[in-house]
Amino acid sequence: MGTRALLWAGLLILVVGIIFFLKYAFDNHWLSEPVRVALGILTGLAMLVSGRLRLKQYPVWAESLSGTGLTLLYISLTAAYRWYGLIGHWEVFFALCVVTVGSILLAILTNGWWLAFFSTLGGISVPFLIGYWGGFLEVLIYLAIFNMGIVFVFFRKQWRSMVWTALVGTWMMIVTSNIETDFSFLSWTYVGFVAISFLIFETAGNGFGIFKPDRYKTTELYLSILNAILFSTTCYYMLQKMGVTKQGLASGALGLAAYYAILGSAALRKTAPTLLTGFVSVLALGFIAAAMPLYLSHHWITMAWATQAIAVLWLSARIQNKSLAWIGLVLLGLLLARLLYWDSYLFTQTWTLILNKRSLAFLAVALAWFYFGLLHRQKKLPLQQKELSGIGGFVILILPLCWLSLEVIGYYSHQLWLQGLSQPLLFAKQIVLSIIWGVYAIGVLLFGFFKKQVLARWFSLCLLGITIIKVVFVDTTQISALYRMLIFLSLGGILLLGAYTYTRGNRKKGAST
């Protein structure tokens, strides 16, 4: 490390010294402009060739010398075009292409990945060095061909620095050109180029994992993630600027979902790494989730995302991917939050009891959580924490109670909106809620005994306690003595039935043991 740092420092100081010497010579008119360019080209070629000849004896020194020589070649040719006007844009373009292709071939022949990195850096910088010559379309064609060549070399030599350099450089050009021109040049041709660039780098990332699974590494996964993020966000803003409707954007998201689904199917058939299969599957489902709010609304979005959560859990159990299982669990949590916060809003003006979209949304989320609990209970998920089973069971128990409570509250809120504020209706709402909670608690208690579920029994006992507190301090405060007596008798009977069931279950359990 110290040797490499010392070497780079020496080369940098040497280059700075050459620049000062040339500036002094230029200021005193010692060298004409053609001589300056020729001197830079000859010096660069000499350093490039000398580095390759000494590669075996002094690899670090030789790679650094070759990189510096290649840099001088790019600077000299750029100066001949932009500063001195000695050659035209097409001439400098072909000259820079020859330098790039020649240096990459030289790197392949001498197995020098450092020179390949410098060549890639120089090749991707051509549009920045000489400007958008001739027209923007030529730049797009050049970059597409250049990136395809880089990916081809990557498949042969696995020089990952080349692909990363090309990826970052290409997307920098795309993003900066959009910002500088405020998207004024946008067209479907440009969108097509962005899509082609995305597919080229997809080949280097996910494609490499499918065709060369034994050499696939996490760096290819990170490359694919960055490529997908840059492509999706850039296309979203470009298409918005072009006036594409929400349905068009949703169609694009579904197209990406279909692409990743096909890729995931190919990965399964080719026995690609599990990490790759899980990644493309998550992306496919993610783009479907992104399209849903553009196509659907409110409760239908929740139902679609619940279906997606079930698919993620199924896939994680199929390929035994722990990360994918955690993603499914997080998605379930977000679904629950959306259901209780967003989909539980009550529209008092229009109300349909039970047979409504909210009921379907609750059913979809409950099924998703039930499927999670089933997979975890059968030990098919790569997550085996005992706490997860308890969380899943609690959610499954609480969801029906929330749904029933919301139906009661919604019904009486609608009646109050129709009839105006009415004390009997307010009282009836509280009484019906208490009855439903009590009956539900007894039902869960019986289920807990028959199925030997400790969590269900504790849940029912807690719910019964909450119901008692509600009856004593809320329901019976504003009613006559007769109704208060009837309520307490009914509640006492329910509690005695629960106690009898609980005692009988404990006796049977003790006898069996």
280 plus 372 within the same structural domain? no
434 has pLDDT over 70: yes
Indicate if 376 and 317 belong to the same structural domain: yes
Task: Quote the pTM value.
Answer: 0.64
Looking at the 3D structure of the chain, how many domains does it have?
4
Question: Of 210, 116, 182, 190, whose CA–CA distance to 154 is shortest?
Answer: 116
Q: For residue 413, is it within any domain?
A: no
SS3 325: helix
108 and 249 fall within a common domain: no
If asked whether residues 121 and 248 sit together in one domain, one would say no
Quick: pLDDT tens for 266-301. Answer: 877 777 677 787 778 778 877 887 777 767 767 778
State yes or no: pLDDT of 417 exceeds 90. Answer: no
Residue 412 belongs to a domain: no
pLDDT for 134 equals 46
Residue 32, pLDDT > 60, answer yes
Same domain, 286 and 217: yes
Residues 305 and 360 in one domain: yes
User: Phi and psi for 37 in degrees, rounded to 5?
Assistant: -65, -45
The answer to whether residue 417 is domain-embedded is no
Domain membership flag for residue 91:
yes
Quick check: 64 pLDDT over 90? no
3-state secondary structure of 185: coil
Same domain membership, residue 33 and residue 79: yes
Same domain as 279, residue 155: yes
Domain final residue, candidates 93, 108, 130:
130
Question: Does the residue 415 lie in any domain?
Answer: no
Q: Do 290 and 301 belong together in one domain?
A: no
pLDDT tens digit sequence for 96-109: 888 899 888 888 88
Question: Of 278, 275, 175, 268, which is closest to residue 229 (Cα–Cα)?
Answer: 175
Note whether residue 160 is domain-resident: yes
Nearest to 162 by CA among 171, 174, 150: 150
Share of the chain above pLDDT 90, in %: 8
CA distance 35 to 285: 61
Q: Domain ends where: 115, 130, 145?
A: 130
* Residue 178 CB neighbour total at 10 angstroms: 19
Residues 226 and 275 in one domain: yes
Please indicate, yes or no, whether residues 467 and 485 belong to a single structural domain of this protein: yes
Residue indicated by tokens 């405020």: 182
The answer as to whether 169 is a domain residue is yes
Of 233-237, 351-355, 375-379, 390-394, the range with the lowest mean pLDDT is: 351-355
| Amino acid symbol at 450 | F
The answer to whether residues 125 and 146 belong to one domain is: no
Instruction: Quote the pLDDT of residue 133.
Output: 47
Calculate mean pLDDT across residues 250-273. 80
**Among the three residues 364, 381, 407, which one is the final residue of a domain in this structure?**
407
Confidence of residue 163 (pLDDT cuts 50, 70, 90): very high
Between these two residues, 176 and 28, which has the higher pLDDT value? Answer: 176
The Cα 302–Cα 490 span in angstroms is 39
Which range of residues forms the domain containing residue 479? 422-512
The full 3-state SS of 137-173, as one line of letters, equals HHHHHHHHHHHHHHHHHHHHHCCHHHHHHHHHHHHHH
Q: What is the pLDDT of residue 66?
A: 79
Q: What is the mean pLDDT of residues 332-353?
A: 75
Q: Which of 202, 207, 201, 200 is nearest to 272 (CA)?
A: 207
